[in-house]
Amino acid sequence: MKIVVLDGFTANPGDLSWNAFRELGELTVYDRTSPEETVARTFDADVALTNKVVFDAETLDALPNLRYIGVLATGYNVVDLPKARERGIVVTNAPSYSSESVVQATFAHLLNLASSLAANAAAVRDGAWSTAPDFTFSRGPLTELCGKRLGIVGFGTIGRRVAEVAKAFGMEVVAFGPHLTVGSEPAPGVRAVSLDDLFSTSDAISLHCPLTEATKNLVDAERLTCVKTGAWLINTGRGPLLDEAAVAAALVSGKLGGVGVDVLSTEPPSPTNPLIGAPNSFISPHTAWATREARARLLAIVAENLRAFAAGAPINVVN
C-alpha cells in the first residue's frame, strides 16, 4: 500500500513519529504541497493523507489508483465527498482529537480580555512599570469572571467542556444550538436560550458551531447591533463565522470591548485583514488545535483509521 502525506508539517513538524504509518505501507511525507503538485505526488498512491490540500472533483478524476483519503483534521470540506463516493474512495476524518486544547485556547483568550494580560505585559516590556509612580498600573480594564454571563454558540463536545470550565470560574452559562430547546437545561447549570437572547445579554460570547451556509457570517453588522455594549467575542471555531469588517467596526466604535480569535476567513491572512490592528483585537495564528498532545492524538486516530481500512472495516468514514 502506497501512502502519501501531502502536508504533514503542521501536524508533525518533527516532534512526533510517522512510524505507525510506515508499518502499514510504503510512506512518503511532504511538508507542503501546492495545488499544482497534488496529482503528480498522489498519482501512484493508494492512500492520500491531507489536512488542507484540496481534493476536488477534477483532482479525484485524475487519480485512478486512489482508494482512500484520510483527513488530518475533524473538518473534511477539502474533499469533494460526492465525487469520492462515486469513485469508491473512502474518506475518513479525525474527530475530537483537539477538544481539550481548543477549550484551553478559548480560556486563554477570555482570560487575556478579562485581565488585559497582553497589553500589560507589553507595557512592562516597554518600561512603563519601571517608571510608574505607583506599585501597580493597568493598560486596560481588569474584570472578574465570576458572576459574568458566558454565551456559548454551539453546544457539542467543545461547547460543553467550555461550559464546565466557565462554571468553575463562577460564570453564569447560557447556550444556543439548533437542537437545544429554549428554556431547557442541556447540561447542569446551563440554560438554553435563543440566539438573540444570547447575544443581547452575554458579557462574553464564544463560538463553537460548525461552518455551514446558515452560520457563515453569523456575527455580522446586524447581529452586532444587539450585543451588550462592551461584550467580548471569542472565536476558536471557523473564521468565516465572523463578518470581519463588521467586527472590526464594532471594536472601533466600542460596541465590542474586545475580540479573541484563533481563526480567520483566509489563512494565512492578508495584512489588510480588518481585524489585524483593530483596537482590542487579539489574534492567535490558528494554534488552538496544535498542542503536542492534540497532534499526537490526531496522528494516532488517523493511523487507526488507516489500519481499520486496511483490515476491511473502515471507521470514522464521512462519505
Known active-site residue 36: no
Cβ proximity of 12 and 6 under 8 Å: no
Q: Of the residues 223, 286, 295, 297, which is catalytic?
A: 286
Instruction: Provide the angle, in degrees to the nearest 10, between the axes of the packed helices 99-115 and 292-310.
Output: 160
User: In angstroms, rounded to a whole number, what is the distance separating the alpha carbons of residues 28 and 173?
Assistant: 47
Known active-site residue 267: yes
Q: Which residues of 19-49 are buried (b: 16+ CB within 10 A; e: fewer)?
A: ebbeeeeebebeeebeeeebeebbeebbbbb
Q: What sign for the dihedral angle of Cα 193, 199, 205, 209? A: positive
Per the listing, cell 502506497 goes with 2
Q: Of the residues 37, 58, 86, 267, which is catalytic?
A: 267
Residue among 30, 114, 21, 115 nearest 307 (CA)? 21
Known active-site residue 286: yes
Q: Of the residues 161, 238, 295, 297, which is catalytic?
A: 238
DSSP state of 150: E
User: In angstroms, rounded to a whole number, what is the distance separating the alpha carbons of residues 143 and 171?
Assistant: 12
- Would you please indicate which residues are annotated as catalytic (active-site) residues? 238, 267, 286
